[in-house]
Structures are given as structure tokens and as C-alpha cells.
Structure 1
């Protein structure tokens, strides 16, 4: 019997999404060209939200993709990988990114308004944890430390100008 053997790859994450409680995009980072246009991306996001917002499960298979979801007060956070991807790895990224790093950064106030006020830090946290589908960090303290270091460097450069 022929078995499907996949070559190992560092490209684990297909997308990182944050949707509001209406299913509209708050933040989206696509790591490949599976959904090349904004129209396709928004349709995928709406479908993902509709399939996951009504259930209590954290993991779903949608259209050949593994979707891991967690919700906060008024936001839904998603990490998406291929159908062959390890759900535990995707959940570790989601926990590190949104519920540990952001919770530390926002003093346990992970909600839409707080993220809007701290979008720069939010973008930095996302970039520190995964870049173009490659997981860079899974330790939330390290991620927050890098964000703080980056913020200090930006302040230093702005003062030098």
C-alpha cells in the first residue's frame, strides 16, 4: 500500500487571522498564495467565522486546512495550517501569540479596543512569533521581550533624528 509521505517543512502556518464578533477582518496575515486576492481572503474569513463561531470546539478542518480557533471578549483568533499540520503545534502558536504574549502586553485586557490602541505592538508580536509561515518563537516571554527591545530601538532612533 502506498502511503503519503510528506517532506518535512518549516512552513507550518498558512494564515493568522483575527476577526471581530461579526466575522469581519480585524487583522489578517496570509503566509502563502492560497487566497491571492482580498475578495477570496474575505470569503474564506467569513466562511471560517461562520463554521467556527457556533461551536465550542477549538479545531476544525475547512477546505483542506486545519483551523485552530480561540475567542476573547469580542475577537476571534485563528491559526491556520495545512490539513496535514499538527493541531497541537498550531494551538501552541495561538496560545503563545494571542493569549500569553498579548495578555502580558495588554495587562490581561485582550479586547478589540485595547488592540486598536496598541496595533504597533500587536503587529510586532505577530512578526516575532511567525514569519512567512515559519514559526520563530513559541515562548511568550521571549516574544514580549523582543517587542519591548524593538520598541526601545524605535524610540532611540526617533530621538536621534
Structure 2
């Protein structure tokens, strides 16, 4: 089977202006073509009727089988969220559970999954036949990693002040359209490592604290 290919990853502000973008396809050969796509997809997803094209609700499980860590995505339709420590179907113990709530639309023969928070708009684009679950996993990995790196303050001001971290984040997720990593903890950890090597102020302790806080919030939400 062919590897899933990502066409682009976009982070725009609430007016559709660029904050950080990466293109992995020649479908948009010039900068003006890229900007036109960004403007058009932003306008499309602002329309109320467009935003009801579809919703993706997925459960992401991290579980252990025979001492080996495994990650799995499944649709939440008809599924019951398992708690941490509970047995997983087919064997294994659940180590962590998170839910993805994103939106999806078809635009100009592309599948676009997106998520808005504060004044930031996150987009991941794939070909018309691309698996939206895979695109959604990339989106969630990017979104969560940015949240960790920005210490939970996910807005335009923080994003611009930490633009170097966000660009490093994109490099850790996709290379040449090929997906490298979707686990936010791994992505943020690698970015933090690069930042420390470069003498940036982001410390390992800060990342560790951010990850611990994220896990605590997740555990509380599952126990409610």
C-alpha cells in the first residue's frame, strides 16, 4: 500500500493570515498559489453550512501488550471509552486515552481536517482519497504538541513569540509529505531537545511539567 501523504499543514490566525505553514506537494507551485489556497480554505471553513460537512470523533488509545507499548485510533461511534488500567480488546492494558474532536470538509478535491482554538486555526490537507482518520491523527498530534510547547496558552500572541518551536514541531511531524510522528509527547520532547541544544530558554523541566499537567487533566476528565 502507498504511504499516507500529507499535502500541507497550516496554522492561520482568525483572519486567515499565515502564522506557520508547510507544503509537501507541488500542487501549489508558487507562493501566490499557496496563499490563494489558504485564503480559500479559510473562507470555506468560516461558513456555517461548510462547518457541518462532517465531524470526526475518534478515541486514541495507548496500551501495553506483553510489555510493548502500542498506539491505536478508533472511531468513537458505538464505542465505550475504556479507562486507564482497564483491559483492551484483544489483550493488553490501557495506558492512556484521549479523544479527538475535529471537523472535516472536502475542498477543491482535497480532504481538509481542521480545528479552531482561540484565534488560531489548525488545518491538515490530504488528497481526495486520503484516510481522514490519518489526517485527523496528524492534526491532533500537531495541536497537542503546540499546546504543550506553549504551556497551555494556545493563542496567536504566544504562537508568534514561539514561532521557532512551532516550525520545529512541523519538521518532527511530517517530512516530504511522509508522516514521521503523531504522538504529541514525543514531538514536544524532540522539539525541546533541539531547543536546548540551540540554547533556547525552553527547559526540559518545563516540558516535563507540561506533560505531567496534560496527563493529569486527561485522567481527571476520564474519571468524571
TM-score (norm 1): 0.87
Report the secondary structure of 1:71's partner residue: strand
Q: 1:38 — aligned with what?
A: 31
Partners of 1:118 and 1:23 lie apart in 2 by 19
Q: 2:190 — aligned with what?
A: 146
Report the CA distance between 1:97 and its aligned residue: 0.6
Q: 1:49 — aligned with what?
A: 42
**Any conservation in 1 of the 2:20–2:163 contact (CA below 8 Å)?**
no
Q: How does 1:118-157 map to 2 (within 5 A)?
A: 118-155=162-199
Report the secondary structure of 1:155's partner residue: coil
Structure with more relative contact order (C-alpha pairs < 8 Å, separation 6 or more): 1
Report the secondary structure of 2:198's partner residue: helix
Structure 1 unaligned segments of length 5 or more: list them: 1-7, 157-161
Structure 2 unaligned segments of length 5 or more: list them: 53-102, 201-224
Q: Give CA deviations for 1:106-145 in whole Å, capped at 9, x if unaligned.
A: 1111111001111111111111011111110011111111
Q: 1:16 — aligned with what?
A: 9
Partners of 1:137 and 1:147 lie apart in 2 by 12
Report the CA distance between 1:9 and its aligned residue: 2.4
Partners of 1:75 and 1:44 lie apart in 2 by 17
Q: 2:122 — aligned with what?
A: 77
Q: 2:109 — aligned with what?
A: 64
After the TM superposition, list the runs of 4 or more consecutive aligned residues in structure 1 that deviate by more than 4 angstroms.
Answer: none
Partners of 1:64 and 1:46 lie apart in 2 by 16
Report the secondary structure of 2:29's partner residue: coil
**Any conservation in 1 of the 2:4–2:130 contact (CA below 8 Å)?**
no
Higher helix fraction (1 or 2): 1
Q: 1:4 — aligned with what?
A: none
**Any conservation in 2 of the 1:106–1:114 contact (CA below 8 Å)?**
yes
Q: 2:58 — aligned with what?
A: none
- 1:104 matched to 2:148: yes
TM-score (norm 2): 0.63
- 1:91 matched to 2:91: no
Report the CA distance between 1:14 and its aligned residue: 0.2
